Each structure stands twice: as C-alpha cells, then as structure tokens.
Amino acid sequence: MSPDPSVPSVRPVRPVRRLRRLGSDSGETARWLPVASLVAVGGVLLVVVATGKGRGLAGALPFLLVPVALAAGWWLNHKRVEAAKRWAATIGWTWVGADNSLAHRWRGQPFGTGDSRRVTEVMTGPFGPYRGTSFAYRYTTGSGKSRSTHVFGVIALSMPTFLPTLELTPENVGTRLVRAFGAQDLEFESEDFNRAWRVTARDPKFAHDVLHPRLLERLVRGDATGMSIRIEGTDILCWSTGAPDLARLGSRLGVLRAIVDAVPRYVWLDHGYDPAST
C-alpha cells in the first residue's frame, strides 16, 4: 500500500544524535561545575547543621570553607576573563593574556614597588589613531601572615613621541595633608579643577602648557572623576584599585585620548613631533 501524500512523514528520533548534542555542551557544563560544587557543599553543610549532626565538624569547618572560597574565586575570575575576551573580540582588540614585561615599563605608581609583580588579562588594540592596552597588575608586600596582594586595573594609550612626566590624582584629605607639609600641587586657573585634582610635574611649565583652560574644563566632567592619570615616556595611562572594569574601559580610554588630542601643537614640536606630518 503506497503512503498517503497528504500526510507528512515523520522521521524517528535518533538517540545517538541526542548524545552528541549533549557532548557538544561539555564546555558549558565545565563552566558551571564550580557553581554546582559550591551549591552541593553548601547544601551538605546546611543539612548537617540542621540535623544537629555537625558538632564533630565544627573544627573541620574552616577546612571545608577554604576550598569552597577558592572555587568561588576561580569561577568569578573565569567569568570576568571570558567577558573580557568577548569584549576584545567585539571591538577588534587582541587578547594577549600575560605579559610581565609591562610590570617594568613604567616607574610611577602603582609600579616600582612590592614583590612578585605580575601582569595578566592583557588585551590591546587600536583606539582612534592610538594604540590602547588594558591589563591587571598585581604585586605583593609583606611576608608570612602579613603578606598582602595588591591588584590594579591599568589602561595605557600610546603617544606619538616622548613627553615629560605629568601626573594627576584625585584631590582628597591625604593629598591636602601632604601638600600642607610641602608636597607639590600645581595650581591652575580653574577652581573646580584645583578642588578635583592634585597635579605634580617635573617641569611645571610643561604642565601649564598641556593643562590649558579647555582641557581643565574637560577634566572636571563626570567621566574623568576619580581617575589617576599620568603621562610618562611615550604613554599616557590611568590606574585604579581592583581588577580591570570593562564597564569603564571605553570611557577611560576616551578621557586619555581627549588629553592627548588636546596637547597643543607647539608642545609636540618642542619634543620633536609635528602633528601636521601624519
């Protein structure tokens, strides 16, 4: 008997293909494994405590919590790195990973102090006519039980040529205190700028040439608030405590570019570069 053409044929389900599909999701499963482990361990601890059978585990509790905390830290860091890789791919940047040579490229803060200096989460690529780089910088201080790890998110933008060192850091109680004891803090025409920033430079004239009124106005806008910025060598960079923050990366690159773009032509010429030649 021939099949009725008005009835669509139905193919039987093939279990082997379903198994292959599950296998293709193994990467996603691996990414969620630490979370599942945390939930499982937490559930066991809650049951033990709730049933009153955990008296003997009181001394062992720290040993159970330590691996849980380590797994949680690993998972959170993994998710953050994966997000950074996706961000880099989206805008055409290159994910590098680790590059400890960057730990010795600059002399000013947060560099040049501590031990075990490491640079990770490096990604780099074009930002307008310049080249940008973002990374996490870590170093340790102290030893034994007093050993501490310090983490900073750093963003750097290349410049066409070398310029003298100029540093801008947020004005606060600490900076006002060191200024009271004679530390340098250059003053400018804008009171709003003076209240927001502490400025130090080896060459005060260079600082005043670069920080002209139009740039002073730009640096009191909200996207520049709280940044620590330095021109050093052939780079301009900013840094902040904690791991790199993708949510602020674009705006901070924008502030760094605004500073470089605002450098007057005669300043570039004084240091051997003519913007009109490019």
Task: State percent of the chain over pLDDT 90.
Answer: 62
Please determine, for residue 56, whether its predicted confidence score (pLDDT) is greater than 70.
no
Among the ranges given (48-62, 64-78, 129-143, 210-224), the one the predictor scored with the smallest mean pLDDT: 48-62
Task: State percent of the chain over pLDDT 70.
Answer: 69
């004084």: which residue's tokens?
270
pLDDT for 79: 85
pLDDT tens digits along 65-83: 666 666 766 677 778 889 8
Please determine, for residue 27, whether its predicted confidence score (pLDDT) is greater than 60.
no
Among the ranges given (43-52, 110-119, 256-265), the one the predictor scored with the smallest mean pLDDT: 43-52
Going by pLDDT thresholds of 50, 70 and 90, the confidence category of residue 118 is: very high
Please determine, for residue 177, whether its predicted confidence score (pLDDT) is greater than 80.
no
pLDDT tens digits along 235-260: 999 999 999 999 999 999 999 999 99
| Mean pLDDT (whole number) for 19-41 | 46
Going by pLDDT thresholds of 50, 70 and 90, the confidence category of residue 134 is: very high
Please determine, for residue 23, whether its predicted confidence score (pLDDT) is greater than 50.
no
Which residues face 158 on adjacent strands? 235
pLDDT for 76: 75
Q: How far is CA 101 from CA 74, 98, 113, 119, 214, in A?
A: 25, 9, 15, 8, 36
DSSP 84-113: HHHHHHHHT-EEEE--GGGGGT--STTSS-
Give pTM, 2 decimals. 0.74
Going by pLDDT thresholds of 50, 70 and 90, the confidence category of residue 53 is: low
Q: In terms of DSSP bridges, do strands 228-241 and 197-201 run parallel, antiparallel, or are they unpaired?
A: unpaired
Q: Which two tokens stand for residue 210?
A: 């670069």
pLDDT for 178: 62
